[in-house]
Amino acid sequence: MPRKPNSGEPAWIDPDDAPELGEAFFTRADIFDGDRLVSRGRPRLDKPKRQITLRLDADVIDGLRATGPGWQTRANAALAAWLARGAGA
């Protein structure tokens, strides 16, 4: 089996030779508000979407995709509007 090539940087072994903790380190550090960890990224949604499997006619899918990026969001909005009108009742 071929040997894995070196990454180009020597392995850090001596704990007394630790690198300085510069600005780049602290920009990636965790942020706390008192004792509470402030999470990164998007805030959690109150009602997150769920993934399902839904079989639709090919012409329906082609027509939705032809409307361009965001077609799944528009399909969701159309279904939500249909339900708000009384779900075909």
User: Residue 36 — pLDDT band, cuts 50, 70, 90?
Assistant: confident
Q: Which of residues 51 and 3 earns the better pLDDT score?
A: 51
Tell me the C-alpha distance between 10 and 14, whole Å.
12
Statement: residue 52 has pLDDT above 90: yes
User: Mapping DSSP to helix (H, G, I), strand (E, B) and coil, where does residue 38 land?
Assistant: strand
Cβ 32 vs Cβ 38: under 8 Å: yes
Domains of the chain: which residue ranges? Answer: 50-89
Question: What is the percent of the chain where pLDDT is above 90?
Answer: 45
Question: How confident is the model over 42-46, as a mean pLDDT?
Answer: 87
pLDDT at 58: 97
Round the average pLDDT of the chain to a whole number and report it.
Answer: 86
Statement: residue 41 has pLDDT above 70: yes
